[in-house]
Structure 1
Amino acid sequence: MKRRDFIEHLGLASAMILMPGLAIAESDDHVSAFAKKLKPVGRTLEMEGYYVWCNSPIEGPDGKIHVFFSRWVASKKMGGWINGSEICHAIADTPESELKFQGVILAPRGPGFWDATTCHNPSIKKVDGKCCLFFMGNSNGKTNTKRIGLATADSLDGPWTRPDAPLLEAGKAGSWDDHCTTNPAFIKHPNGQYWLFYKSWNTAEYENSTDPLVKGNRKYGLAIADKLEGPYIKYSGNPVIDFSGKSNNAQLEDAFVWMDKGRFKMLARDMGVFNHQYGLYMESKTGKKWSEPEIGYFNADYYHINQPPPPKYLNKYGRFERPQLLFQNGKPTYMFTTSQGGKYMTASPFLFKIEG
């Protein structure tokens, strides 16, 4: 499919209106160099009858692009991610060509399993010659049993070995991370260790929160292992990212971590630092102490991405979530996100090219 035809197929039609209260100074003081390299391409992998979320890309040995994504039936509306998501596989010849559905690789296993009711948050990595799919499962259709797991395979085409137990459990009652472990972001450290960043929050804060936008306060922790399969030991200085001292109950989620020239870099979804529509960008020398966040990417309005007015049930319309990078020849070339809307007014991947 030619680039022009691809973009026209995505239906970039009329500018949407900013969400109420969305106001942020967009001077160069706030905008990361990464954000300035992004060029929107458009939507892909739109599936009738499904919400498509969490799109994690990797280049295969044959040069084709493999995307591991989560989906759930549209009848469940947006909330279906927590109690009916499954993880699937799609392949394209190039980053901008049509993604073709290959099949479901991880589905909820039912009563008695830690991933009984959902499989979500896929993040694909090639580690030590293995294909490693980090993901989140839960056992009761609620947030308090969300746990990170690791499925492995010798090939991106599977078959996948599913874990009998989570890779990382929640903390002890009363700790900052006693509610869950989710949103895995993994790297193999240059020193040979295996580093797993994870999102969590405190249950009491969550249950007693009066914030009209987001209950509780999501922070990021780090767990380190000497072997890929673990055990993963939580860093004593956790949480490594904590925005709770900022105003507006600021927090973050959907982190993606990579290393570039010896520095850690992170993309994440903003939850109140600038607003609830943008992405965040941070850097770190150690992976344990991070820079002040800058804008990592903007919303649909900023890029003049034309969309029809949203139906009432899509209340996250216009923002891009779950940023995941595609690397080719060791360099990030595309950012895959997900966004509500599209042809079927559900959700689908939205692609950005990284230029320069």
Structure 2
Amino acid sequence: MKYRLITALIITWIILSKVCTAQTDFDFQKLLPEKFDKSNIISEKDYNVWGTNVLKGKDGKYHAIYSRWLKSRGHHGWVTHSEIAHAVSDKLTGPYKFKNVVLPARGNEFWDGDCTHNPHVIEQDGKYYLYYMGNHGSGYWQKTPDDRKPSIKDDAEWWVNRNNQRVGLAVTNDLNGEWKRFDKPLIDVTGNRMMTSTPTISKRNDGKFLLIYKYVKPHPKFKNGKVIHVTATSISPMGPFEDTGIPFITHPSASFAIDDHLEWIFNGNYYCIAKDSRGAWSDYPDGSTMLFESDDMGLDWKPAKNFLVLKAGEIKWTDGSVTKTERTADMPKFYMEDGVPKALIIAILPKDSEISYSLVIPLKKTKQ
């Protein structure tokens, strides 16, 4: 019996080793079209659109769950005025029609009472789990007119909201229904952490859920703190999540090693696309999207052989035009079918503009 158990464990280890060994020749760029279609843009007349998830609901329609905030508040209004909204379409690529706000402001007496942002939505066993950043301020912004633009440089109150960011979770059985949100964050601050934010989650080959989020801690070299991404695991999408103690994709020379990341398992291999937010990883323009891979269930990551996913600086359209960009491919999300990415959704901020939108990019057929 003892030897049978040992044999079974060895076989299991071999299987997991095979499915967790990164496919070193995988090239994400080959999944992308050379030019993008403007008809696939998700936008709103009065609101900036950002960080868009697309899921197919039980009604057979396509549901977009995304961040939005008034255009009149400017780009940096995301940290003070964002809300998480819901739009619906009969087609993956749209057009999407706004339906409702799923996580509205509920007052700065709540930990997420002023702002909800950066949703990451998964479906598991018939339920939908929405991980997000929530925050509250002092109440200052509620007394300002809608054309008052928050400023990182000039507004101490902007930083009040920023430093009150926490990771939260909301749950529903139906994308057309109400989302249950909670009175406490999913990931609060501990120790000298100033905030927690920007969660993504994936289900590993061992059945555990891998949550990746960032926090900021005081640092003498960086005025507003050093940003650190970390990993946590749980046997349930509801948590509780336990930090692994292992940082996620760090770089010794950067306060912001990566940002706006997305992890998934493809052909049994763990991958991540992430923004090189400070140009620390390559000579490509700052903000270019890069591919990382992991051989150990999403804990130890390294740059992939085919590192570049999308070069920052411009978007080329099928109509022949080009949009110069300040933010080229922020907050990437996948539309998935049967665990396979079918479309990449990115947020775009044109250069010299404060008006953002999302773009659905159908992917070329992947090799199975």
2:211 to 176, 196, 217: 196
User: Partner of 1:328 in structure 2?
Assistant: 337
| Length-normalised TM-score, structure 1 | 0.79
Which 5+ residue runs of structure 2 have no aligned equivalent?
1-24, 138-159
Contact preservation (8 Å) 1:32, 1:296 = no
Change (3 A) 1:353 1:298: farther
* Distance of aligned partners of 1:183 and 1:148 in 2 relative to their CA distance in 1, 3 Å threshold: same
Identify the residue that residue 91 of structure 2 maps to in structure 1.
Answer: 94
Show the counterpart of 1:298. 311
Letter in 2 for 1:139: H
Q: Equivalent of 1:51, from 44, 48, 53?
A: 48
Within the candidate set 62, 66, 70, 1:65 is matched to: 62
Q: Which residue of 1 aligns with 2:200?
A: 185
Q: Counterpart of 1:280?
A: 290
- 1:129 and 2:126 matched: yes
The answer (yes or no) to whether the contact 2:199–2:214 under 8 Å persists in 1 is yes
Q: Deviations over 1:215-254 (max 9, x none)?
A: 6543321111233322211102x213211x24x6561111
Structure 1 segment 93-172 matched on structure 2, within 5 A: 93-140=90-137, 141-172=160-191
Q: Secondary structure at the match of 1:91?
A: strand
In the TM superposition, what is the alpha-carbon distance from 1:204 to its structure 2 partner? 2.7
CA contact (8 A) 1:41 1:353 kept: no
| CA positional deviation for 1:265 | 1.2
Q: Aligned partners of 1:250, 1:89: CA distance in 2, in Å?
A: 30
Q: In the alignment, what sits opposite 1:312?
A: none
Q: Do 1:130 and 1:152's aligned partners in 2 also have CA atoms closer than 8 Å?
A: yes
Letter in 2 for 1:41: D
* Aligned residue identity for 1:126: E
CA contact (8 A) 2:50 2:66 kept: yes
| Aligned residue identity for 2:229 | Y
Matches within 5 A, 1:256-267: 256-267=262-273
CA distance in 2, matches of 1:338, 1:302: 11
Matching residue's letter, 1:289? D
Give the stretch that moved more between structures: 50-59 or 139-148: 139-148
- SS of 1:322 mapped into structure 2: strand
TM-score, reference length from structure 2: 0.77
Q: Using the alignment, how far apart are the partners of 1:32 and 1:303 within structure 2?
A: 24
Kept in 2, the 8 Å contact 1:49–1:73? The answer is yes
Call closer, same or farther: CA 1:36–1:164 in 2, change over 3 Å: same
Match of 2:243 among 234, 251, 254: 234
CA distance, structure 2, for counterparts of residue 63 and residue 328 of structure 1: 13
Q: Tell me if structure 2 keeps the 8 A contact 1:127–1:188.
A: no
Pick the aligned partner of 1:41 from 33, 37, 40: 37
Letter of the 1:347 partner, please give it: S
Change (3 A) 1:73 1:123: same
Among all aligned residue pairs of Structure 1 and Structure 2, give the percentage whose two residues are the same amino acid. 26
Question: 1:260: how far off?
Answer: 1.6
Judge conservation of contact 1:183–1:253 (CA < 8 Å) in 2: no
Q: Tell me, what secondary structure is at the counterpart of 1:203? A: strand
What's the Cα RMSD here?
Answer: 2.5
- Determine the C-alpha separation between the residues in 2 that align with 1:326 and 1:157: 18
Shift of 1:300: 5.3
Gaps of 5+ in 1: 1-30, 310-315
Between the aligned partners of 1:75 and 1:200, the Cα distance in structure 2 is 29
Measured at CA, do residues 36 and 171 of structure 1 come closer, stay the same or move farther in structure 2, by a change above 3 Å?
Answer: farther
Equivalent pair of 1:44/1:99 in contact (CA under 8 Å): no
Amino acid at match of 2:30: K
* CA displacement 1:24-78 (0-9 Å, x = unmatched): xxxxxxx961022212233522212211111111122344221100111112101
Identify, as 1 or 2, the structure richer in strand.
Answer: 2
- CA distance in 2 between partners of 1:130 and 1:159 (Å): 12
Are 2:210 and 2:232, in contact at CA under 8 Å, matched by a contact in 1?
yes
Tell me how many residue pairs correspond in the alignment: 307
**Does residue 220 in structure 1 map to residue 216 in structure 2?**
no
Counterpart CA distance in 1 for 2:116 and 2:256 is 27
Rg (Cα) greater in structure? 2
User: How far apart are the structure 1 equivalents of 2:75 and 2:121?
Assistant: 23
Going from structure 1 to structure 2, the CA distance change for 1:192 and 1:330 (only over 3 Å counts) comes to closer
Shift of 1:169: 1.7
Which structure shows the higher helix fraction?
A: 2
CA offsets per residue over residues 72-94 of structure 1, 9 Å max, x none? 11121011110111000111112
TM-superposition CA deviations, 1:279-306 (whole Å, max 9, x none) = 1211112211012252222235364673
Structure 1 distance, partners of 2:85, 2:171, is: 14
